[in-house]
Copies of this chain bind each other. A is one copy, B any other.
Amino acid sequence: MTKIKIGIIGAGRIGKIHADNLLLHPSVEIVAISDLFAGPELEAWASARGIDTLTKDSSEIIQHPNIDAVFICSSTDTHVPLIKQAAKAGKHIFCEKPISMEIGQTEEALEAVQQSGIKFQIGFNRRFDHNFKRVKEHVAGGTIGEPQIVKITSRDPSPPSRDYIKASGGLFMDMAIHDFDMARFLSGSEVVEVYTHGGVLIDSVFAEFDDVDTAIITLKFASGALGVIDNSRKAVYGYDQRVEVFGSKGSVSIANDHPNTAVVSTEKGISSDKPLHFFLERYTKAYVEETQKFIDSLVTGTPVPVDGHDGLQAERIALAAKLSYRLNRAVKLSELEELRR
């Protein structure tokens, strides 16, 4: 059995998670890993996993003759040039979201992907979550009839650091982008119009960077269905990730995952533990599955489960949401080209 040979670009938290998850797949060999800040610690980490090559130079990965596919886990501003290079070099690509902060650049990168014919998967991990998948199955299977209302609650347990916020691209591109993908995924329909109510209710640092920390985003789908996403950067009780799809024959909804099912009853009331704290706990298995599915599609030659178009569309919705917030009016996705000029 020949193995798929992988190179990983960017050995931050998510790069390391992908590496460990890849190693669970019997057909994977990680050949090399690159990071701008590679040092002794990373060396030990790589060595313990039998990864031979460690470099600071991502082009060494991309040009590596034995590598079949690269995982792009470096900072967002590096994604587009790396995608272009890797596409040119004929390497398959798994890229973290978003592809870029600029639709035009994202389109250029996807153009390069298309021309080279490589496989390209975008890291929308939530599509592989056991709860969201079950919702999708019910919607796709007709359990709830024609979808009419899609509701997504997506709240982080606490705001990121000032530095993170500054470089994040803002709530819409950084955080809500997952929800935009989920809206398309669950409804099975494209978003055509967006309206955003946003506010800075948690920390004024968001205002400094022209960002918001709280938002309610309504969506109109091509199918006629309506959607709404509510986002907060700070849910003190933990990561809050719920959806509901309501349709002509019923609804399907999911609640948060909890670390256990224990319920305590005392004189004071009934209580239980908070939900799983954040994305690493909640989406542990989803991260495993997204990399496994990528490898599977390389092995079997079938299409990747989340492709460049999915990445682009989520970015376009994010841009529309941002513009809607600034203009205080509904923004059609068909207006974007004009508004971008």
A-to-B contact residues, CB < 8 Å: 26, 48, 130-131, 133-135, 138, 143-144, 146, 148-149, 151, 153, 155, 193, 195, 197-199, 201-202, 214-216, 218-220, 224-228, 230, 232, 234-237, 246, 248-257, 259-274, 328-330
Contact = CB atoms under 8 A, between A and B. Distances in A.
A194 B143 CA distance: 33
B266 A236 contact: yes
A201 B256 contact: no
A304 to B, nearest CB: 24
B265 A261 contact: no
A48 B1 CA distance: 12
Nearest to A274: B269
Contacts of A248: 201-202, 234, 236
Contact of A253 (B202, B262, B267): B262
B250 A224 contact: no
A232 B246 contact: yes
A261 B19 CA distance: 29
A280 B146 CA distance: 28
Contacts of A195: 195, 197, 218, 330
Given A144-B264, A236-B248, 12 more contacts: A134-B260, A143-B266, A148-B214, A216-B226, A218-B228, A237-B267, A252-B263, A252-B264, A253-B263, A254-B262, A267-B274, A269-B272
Given A230-B149, A236-B249, A237-B251, A135 B218 contact: no
A249 B26 CA distance: 41
Given A267-B237, A269-B274, A138 B262 contact: yes
B131 A270 contact: no
Contacts of A264: 138, 143-144, 250-252
Contacts of A153: 151
Shortest Cβ-Cβ A-B pairs, 10 listed: A250-B266, A237-B265, A134-B262, A255-B261, A271-B271, A134-B260, A236-B267, A148-B201, A197-B218, A254-B261
A257 B130 CA distance: 13
Contact of A226 (B133, B215, B246, B259): B215
21 contacts: A26-B48, A131-B260, A131-B262, A148-B232, A195-B330, A199-B220, A201-B224, A201-B225, A216-B227, A234-B248, A236-B250, A236-B267, A237-B269, A249-B266, A249-B267, A250-B266, A253-B262, A255-B261, A265-B274, A270-B272, A271-B271
A207 B149 CA distance: 18
A283 to B, nearest CB: 14
Nearest to A259: B130
Contacts of A131: 260-262
A108 B144 CA distance: 46
